[in-house]
Structure 1
Amino acid sequence: MAKRLILLALCLALILSGCASGKQETNDPASEPNDIISDAVTPEKEPITTNFGLAYQAQFGLNPYQCTSLTNRTILSLLYESLFTVTSGFQVEPVLCEYYDVSSDLKRCTVHLVPEAQFWDGTRLTSADVAASYKAAMNSPVYGERFYALDSIETPDSSTVVFNTWIPYENLTLLLDVPIVQADTVDSAVPHGTGPYRLVQERYTNTLVRNGYWWQDTYDAVVSVPGIDLVPTATPTDVRDDFEYGVTSVVCTDPNSAAYVDYHCDYELWNCSTTIMDYVGFNVYHGLFSLTELRVALTYIIDRKAIATELYHGYAEASVLPASPLSSYYDETLAAQYDYNPEKFINAVRATHAKTSEAVFLVCNADPRRVDAAEFIAAEAEKYDIHLIVDAVNERTYLDRLYTGDFDLYLGEARLSPTFDLSPFFDGGSLCYGSIFSNDLTGMCRDAMENSGNYYTLHSSVMANGMLCPVLFKSYAVYATRGVINNMYPAIDNVFHSSNGRTLSDAINAAPEQPVSPDAQTANETEPEDASSGEAEEEQSDEYDESEEEESDYDYDEDESEDYDSEEYDYEEEESDDS
């Protein structure tokens, strides 16, 4: 309450002084501590004046491979860039990739880096930085499991990175949206990036300032202010209040989180797609839903559109199939066959002659939206004499019962990779609850990775056998003070995304033509070194091998965790306070 009174007094004072929002000044960026920016110097040193702010949770840090705070990951999209960006429509755009090519067997993807990219200290981006970044990502709670098919990374020269997979992978670029950092800072609390801003950390303040070495400086960025204040925050209420009183300018939040609080001020709003799927899973060897016909039939009494609009307030995409309806993998014709149709459910139930009509419907009570959705589905089933007993339990109990199979069906949530790979459900991985292990479906997952045309076959088999019953894909909400943002199109894990005008087709096999003289060609045939330089350049031979599959579950701090029955970490909303 005291904080609210102080904020209100500050707001009134600013109105009386004729100011629309508080402008803060920070010291010269050159005075920053060396442990944060060792030698990064902007070409022009001027005092930083900022009237733009972002919420910041210091306890979660800004390391892109370890940070699990949704609030802080908003900041990351200004500090770091990736080889590719995945848009909200699940299209791939090249960023730090100038061009790339894929081998005929689809097991080798070669990426050539843009030559202009530099880190905050003016050091040029190299393949060693990319390799170090992906090694960190493969061992991280945020990205680890998506790279199970990545066999090794090679760096044949300073501007080329080769990703080798042990299975054919047609759309590997969808997975290469990992932030790239400077190799020798990869384990730092704030690694160096190539993004439009860099961090200046002083004794009592944290400020993002323009990166004078940003290679895309001529491109019309979403945010172009000289500096951005990072405003310390503790709770969702603090985040909301700071935004409504003009202390911060942009907020990304999960409207379906238990910690969410409503926003009431004047703002602009974007709906940000995610790969987080809410779905019904089954115990296929126990109870009522061991009957395939009933598992398949359940889809017909799930009114997904009503759940998405009435319970999730529009921050979700109703989905019949286990891929986002916004992606190219989603087949509308197939989805229509399994969409809401109570008559089909009635006929299926009559045909089964089931001996019991009761089933335990497990759900985690830490997620009120999912509890509401489970009760909504149970109420629909009750109309047709199927009694789903919703058992909402705490997170620890929920996970224990998933692992032991103590349920008939459950309402789960999984953060899938941008390729919507379902392997963790069927190959004995982190989502294989209810004895749904299947060599056949695992093989179909591999086939879909090799050729996206096989997603239809995979999804058909999943639905026809009732192995999963998707409900929706969640969305985040991005609030911005009216007029402070230009041309923003939030992408997957990249709030401040704005298209640079390049598409994937611009980068595939788009090597720049460089005429080679006959003498130079002869030299190239006899020596592996760069003939144009006149000096032999030592070939890099860094190679990172994944020796064993990463652990699928991350041991979270109990006070910071939420339900994590997911392939990748579900970013945290801050814990709610009592207000």
Structure 2
Amino acid sequence: MKWKKRALAALLAALCLLTACGEGGLGGDDGPVDTVEVSDAYFGMAWYQNGTLNPVLDSTSINRLLCEALYEGLFEVSGNFTAQNVLCASYTGDGTTFTFTLRDDVTFWSGEKLTAADVVASLQAAQYNEASPYHNRLVEAASIEALSGSEVRIVLSSPNINFPRLLDIPIYRQGSAESGDFADGTGPFQPVKDGNQWKLEANESWHGGFLGSIRHITLVPMTRADAAESSFRTGDVSLLREPRIAPDGASTIIGGSIDTVRTASADLHYLGVNYSNPYLANAKVRQALSAALGRQSLCDTQLQTFAAPAVLPVNPQPAADGLTLNMSADTETAARLLREGLEQAGGAGDTGQDDGETDTGEEDADGEAGGTDTGSGGASGGDAALSIRLLVNANNTFKVAAAEQIAASWKAVGVSVTVDRQPYETYVSMLQSGDFDVYYGETLLTPDFDLRPLLSSDGSLNYGGYSSQTMSAAVAAARSGDNLAAFYTAFAEEMPFIPIAFECGQLIIRKGLIDNFSPAPYNAFAGLEEWTSSGE
């Protein structure tokens, strides 16, 4: 822990006193000494006042950012998506039954000691409330119980060796969410009321030790849950989390003296496939479509440099033996796989690259999707070996541009593509009815990268009718921790859907307010012990 490191440094400084090295670094009680230069710079955070702030149930983006300063989970998810202990001192687990032992040095702001009962109450609040943003993480928890004052046991209905990644769920003191403005937390900051104004002050009893240079935060009340961006532009709010690739296609780019910080995420962009199309049902055809993609180029251009290319549906991309994860287009391999796949599926197998007369799927003069292929794709399409209708949400300009670049990549290997741009409501309806060949999709996966919604025959995101007992077995084995590499190999060979990239999160902060700002995927205040302020 950071304070232990500082304590060790202070002790060494004291030993140096014996050899005239300098002054000692111990306080009068031989405890660690706070040597951080505290900043007096203004730091404002938005607060949407909608009743008691319950960190487990509040789903507004404004308050979820605020909760990261106030509350902690058993674990924190790091930038490479590993579970780092926070309130949990240690745990044991076989993938189905987990026992978590709590730290014995944690107290709430109120001074009450953290107990297993508090953890159970917080987790069950998420489990039993479908409106909770953490509800889906606990749907397979068959039981959550306190074994003692410091031990919690969770039994799952099916194995998940990565279950601790899901337990960054905020913990609050049992019963404290029923009254007052803030449920009682353990985080580095605590709310303090100064007259009619709420602010955040450093939690002097925080188990993590001394905070960095920021010790005081002004809370800026919001009457609307979407008002934080305008308050950031006026200077009232100092820290903002906004998507760079917004759902409505409006990129959140704020000029001026700011720092923009990327964070890793589990937000997957991918291409879904309709398995009623006999050509797309062939694994080599899907491998060909994947190999033809210039993923790095897509991330650098249409996805605003705010995405990490992905061939496999996990972040970060694994270093798996025997697998080559090429983020650039490999047209030679793609053409070969396409030819072999079409031959297997009964097509002509001619990639049509020699004459270069493939349909580009350009727009008609009225701006609607061009091309006459509005039904299911086939193995014919002029001189092309394969015709595909690529469905995309027309309301998101980034995705439309990405879809057109994908179409160009497939054209290079002889595939005819019509980019079918549809308003969001129509797009969703067509997904649900299976009215597509390929669709451009996006989904926010859980931190354990559970792919069953996409790969299970009854998965909620399995719009294309994919079904494979072999793949289901590989997924189950990977979730059990038996053979993760085998799953990666099976996915690459089967390519049941085609990953494109993981979108990055975006945090925007006033320039010079914080140096050494290194947020985690779900915690903007990760590493705040190391914060300094240059004031530039």
TM over 0.5: yes
* Cα distance, 1:408 vs structure 2: 0.9
Normalised to the residue count of structure 2, the TM-score between the two structures is 0.75
One of 476, 487, 490 as aligned partner of 1:446 = 476
Contact 2:389-2:438 at 8 Å conserved across structures? yes
Q: What amino acid is the match of 2:163?
A: L
Matched, 1:261 2:252: yes
One of 377, 380, 388 as aligned partner of 2:417 = 388
One of 448, 465, 470 as aligned partner of 2:499 = 470
Q: Residues of 1 paired with 2:45 and 2:327: CA distance?
A: 43
Report what 2:235 is aligned to: 246
* Cα distance, 1:240 vs structure 2: 4.7
* Cα distance, 1:337 vs structure 2: 6.2
Cα deviation, 1:321-352, whole Å, max 9, x if unaligned, reads: 111126xx453852436862111222233331
Report what 2:152 is aligned to: 161
Give matches, 1:27-46, under 5 Å.
none
Which runs of at least 4 in structure 1 moved beyond 6 Å after TM superposition?
201-204
Contact 1:244-1:265 at 8 Å conserved across structures? no
* Cα distance, 1:231 vs structure 2: 4.8
- Distance change >3 Å, CA 454–CA 61, structure 1 → 2: farther
Q: What amino acid is the match of 2:523?
A: N
Contact 2:331-2:412 at 8 Å conserved across structures? no
Matched, 1:229 2:259: no
Q: Residues of 1 paired with 2:337 and 2:451: CA distance?
A: 27
Cα deviation, 1:514-535, whole Å, max 9, x if unaligned, reads: xxxxxxxxxxxxxxxxxxxxxx
Give matches, 1:138-287, under 5 Å.
138=127, 139-140=129-130, 141-186=132-177, 190-200=182-192, 205-216=197-208, 218-219=209-210, 221-222=211-212, 224-232=214-222, 239-240=228-229, 242-257=231-246, 258-286=249-277
Matched, 1:343 2:332: yes
Name the SS for the 1:370 alignment partner.
helix
* Cα distance, 1:154 vs structure 2: 1.9
Q: What amino acid is the match of 2:244?
A: P
* Cα distance, 1:405 vs structure 2: 1.3
Matched, 1:459 2:488: yes
Q: Residues of 2 paired with 1:107 and 1:401: CA distance?
A: 38
Cα deviation, 1:523-570, whole Å, max 9, x if unaligned, reads: xxxxxxxxxxxxxxxxxxxxxxxxxxxxxxxxxxxxxxxxxxxxxxxx
Normalised to the residue count of structure 1, the TM-score between the two structures is 0.70
Q: Residues of 1 paired with 2:268 and 2:419: CA distance?
A: 20
Aligned alpha-carbon RMSD (Å): 2.9
Q: Residues of 1 paired with 2:426 and 2:193: CA distance?
A: 42
One of 107, 116, 137 as aligned partner of 2:96 = 107
One of 412, 425, 445 as aligned partner of 2:441 = 412
- Distance change >3 Å, CA 57–CA 309, structure 1 → 2: farther
For structure 2, which runs of at least 5 residues remain unmatched after alignment? 1-39, 343-347, 349-378, 531-536
Report what 1:432 is aligned to: 462
Q: What amino acid is the match of 1:209?
A: E
Contact 1:198-1:211 at 8 Å conserved across structures? yes
Cα deviation, 1:192-249, whole Å, max 9, x if unaligned, reads: 2211223457997543334454333x23x3563233222537597x645543543222
Contact 2:477-2:483 at 8 Å conserved across structures? yes
Name the SS for the 1:183 alignment partner.
coil
Contact 2:60-2:225 at 8 Å conserved across structures? no
Give matches, 1:422-571, under 5 Å.
422-427=451-456, 428-451=458-481, 454-498=483-527
Q: How many residues align?
A: 445
Identity percentage of aligned residues: 28
Contact 2:275-2:466 at 8 Å conserved across structures? yes
Give matches, 1:307-326, under 5 Å.
307-325=298-316
Report what 1:540 is aligned to: none
Q: Residues of 1 paired with 2:57 and 2:436: CA distance?
A: 33
* Cα distance, 1:492 vs structure 2: 2.1
One of 85, 92, 113 as aligned partner of 1:124 = 113
Tell me which of the two structures has the higher relative contact order, counting C-alpha pairs closer than 8 angstroms and 6 or more residues apart: 1
